[in-house]
Amino acid sequence: MSQPTTARTRFAPSPTGYLHVGAARTALFAWLVARQNNGSFVLRIEDTDQKRQVEGAEQHIIASLQALGLDYDEGPDKPSDYGPYRQSERLNQYKKWAESLLAAGRAYADPYTPRQINSFREQAQVERKPFLFRNHRPTNPPEWDGSMPLRFKSEPKPYKWHDEVMGSLSTGPEVIDDFIIIKSDGFPTYNFAHIIDDYEMAISHVIRGQEFIASVPNYLNLYEALKLSVPIMATMPPILGPDGKKKLSKRDGAKDLLDYLADGYLPEALVSFIATLGWNDGTTQELFTKRELIEKFSLKGIGKGGAVFDESRLRWVNGRFIRQIPLDELYQKAVGYLPEKASEQDDSYNKAVLGCLQERLKYFSEIVELSLFFYEDLPVDISLIANHKKLKKYETETLIKLLEKAHERLANLEPFNLETISSALNQLLADTEEKPVVLFSLIRIAITQAPASPGLAETISILGKTAVLRRINQQIEALKV
RNA sequence: GGCCCCAUCGUCUAACGGUUAGGACGUCGGGUUUUCAUCCCGGAAAUAGGGGUUCGAUUCCCCUUGGGGUCACCA
């Protein structure tokens, strides 16, 4: 088998929907193989099933690849020497190759109606045997006029082949069958088209999902009939849903890659997470930049078993990536996720808010919930005190007094900045002889009305004296009722 | 049902045939002059079962079990 020195890999989706995580991983790995060999990454659109076309799917997929930073060198919108890159635009190629098979006696017209084939199939099912079309191969097939499907005439035999991920694979002759290569609508099937295209586009590595592994022997049979050399093949194990059994599906949540991006997951984090779903470099490294992946990735490092998509781990990965980016960059990326009223504040205020959220943020769309109190007075929620493990033991009177003392101290504080606030709070601690958990929790609840928030002094300094004093008073009033 | 593939903590995974089976997420428990969703420390948690081979199997072989894929004029 010839091993091309420069890798040419492809991602070949059919435009029937959005790009989901599993396809994104396949695309990522193909991209990595191309990039680490200084090769080419090709996007080919497999639109041979007219019925399943989805309007806009191609654009959606392209947008997803771009968002992840998986740039391709050739594709429908990037014409190059091996185009066109949509299968619907390559019909004459498939026809040419099909006719050569026909001429060589390795293809024939399928004279049966779908109904007849169905009855063959049902019969096989009753007999609990796999359906093989070649058991019904017509002795005198009619001339192929394009109105009937064209079938490959197989030569059953056992196969043994190598898969970069799965290792050595083999099957017996019983899996080889006559499959349709040109449908009655004139379009090729995937089984035929991809082989022609991979050859004509000089693809070196075919990286795809495991749903195709059972068809590989048939492809090998076709490669032989066509006298084409076989590319390197790599089969990706499936990405599983939360139950750990079935393949990840739409039911399991938002699986459109663009949805994750819209929720405020960083492309870098998504790439790192998806790459480590089934792959790892043998060390304990958990997070990878794209550069590191290009350097370290290997198809051989991919596990053979399926991997469950664990969103909580994705959140953790994303949180780590968020913490790594400089505040200015974070601000640029996340400003749109701030609450509506953020537009009434200036950049420095909003940036300060994001700054103190950064270390605890997991994804951007939770920013509203985490930062709302920075932008508006939330209604006093008495349950925050009533349910607090320490505060609930205190008399309301005592709490009011503590708040009044805090109010007084902060009201007289000048200048009003992080440093002075911190020391004022410490003074307060000493004066009241209360534990921090009591005093600070009380003040924190008063000024945020939220179950969690950034550091108290920091929060106070961002909110400013006016808002803080107003909110403390609101809490006092609520307690008095 | 035939054929093919897969199998380490709940999850992602590491371990030239020799390790107290490691790391990470999650979880649980502590800790830090606030909360906790950050941070630090700690705990619980796995080689599916049975046979071989071997001085010694997570690792190699076989069987069983479990799971997945496929058997389309879908890809």
pLDDT, tens only, A384-440: 888 887 888 888 888 999 999 999 999 988 888 888 898 899 888 888 888 888 899
Find and give the residue nearest to B25, measured CA to C1': A313
Which nucleotide has its C1' atom closest to residue A190's CA?
Answer: B75
Find and give the residue nearest to B39, measured CA to C1': A359
- Digits of tens for pLDDT over chain A (481 positions)? 444 468 999 999 999 999 999 999 999 999 999 999 899 999 999 999 999 999 999 999 999 999 999 999 999 999 999 989 999 999 999 999 999 999 999 999 999 999 999 999 999 988 888 999 999 999 999 999 999 999 999 999 999 999 999 999 999 999 999 999 999 999 999 999 999 999 999 999 999 999 999 999 999 999 999 999 999 999 999 999 888 888 887 777 667 899 999 999 999 999 999 999 999 999 999 999 999 999 999 999 999 999 999 999 999 999 999 999 999 999 999 999 999 999 999 999 999 999 999 998 999 999 999 999 999 999 998 888 888 878 888 888 889 999 999 999 999 888 888 888 988 998 888 888 888 888 999 999 999 998 888 989 999 999 999 999 999 999 999 988 7
* Cβ neighbours for A217, distance < 8 A, ≥ 6 positions apart: A159, A171, A175, A176
* Run of H or E including A208: strand A205-209
Q: Which two tokens stand for residue A419?
A: 């440093």
Which nucleotide has its C1' atom closest to residue A246's CA?
Answer: B68
Q: Å from A39 (CA) to B46 (C1')? A: 41
Q: Which two tokens stand for residue A377?
A: 């007075």
Q: Å from A125 (CA) to B35 (C1')? A: 64
Model ipTM value: 0.94
CA gap A43, A26 in Å, rounded: 12
User: What is the fold of A8-240?
Assistant: Rossmann fold (3.40.50)
Q: Å from A180 (CA) to B56 (C1')? A: 54
Q: Å from A282 (CA) to B16 (C1')? A: 14
Three-class DSSP category at A293: helix
Report chain B positions within 7 A of protein CB atoms.
1-8, 10-15, 22-26, 33-38, 67-75
How many C-beta neighbours within 10 Å does residue A293 have? Answer: 21
Packing angle, helices A456-463 and A418-432, rounded to 10? 120
Query: Where are the domain boundaries for CATH 1.10.1160.10 in chain A?
Result: 257-366
Does domain A257-366 bear CATH number 1.10.1160.10? Answer: yes
- Report the Cα A292 to chain-centroid distance in Å: 19
Which nucleotide has its C1' atom closest to residue A453's CA?
Answer: B35
The residues of A annotated with a catalytic role in the active site are: 250
CATH number for A377-480 (one of 3.60.70.12, 1.10.287.130, 1.10.10.350, 3.30.499.10): it is: 1.10.10.350
Which nucleotide has its C1' atom closest to residue A425's CA?
Answer: B33
Which nucleotide has its C1' atom closest to residue A245's CA?
Answer: B67
Are A51 and A14 contacting, i.e. CB atoms less than 8 angstroms apart? no
Query: Where are the domain boundaries for CATH 3.40.50.620 in chain A?
Result: 8-240
Q: Å from A433 (CA) to B38 (C1')? A: 28
Please state, for a pLDDT cut of 70, what percent of chain A lies above it.
Answer: 99
CA gap A479, A481 in Å, rounded: 6
Beta bridge partners of residue A149, listed in sequence order: none
Beta bridge partners of residue A205, listed in sequence order: A9, A232
CA gap A183, A134 in Å, rounded: 17
Find and give the residue nearest to B6, measured CA to C1': A305
Q: Å from A424 (CA) to B67 (C1')? A: 62
Three-class DSSP category at A198: helix
Instruction: Please indicate, yes or no, whether the overall pTM of this predicted structure exceeds 0.95.
Output: no
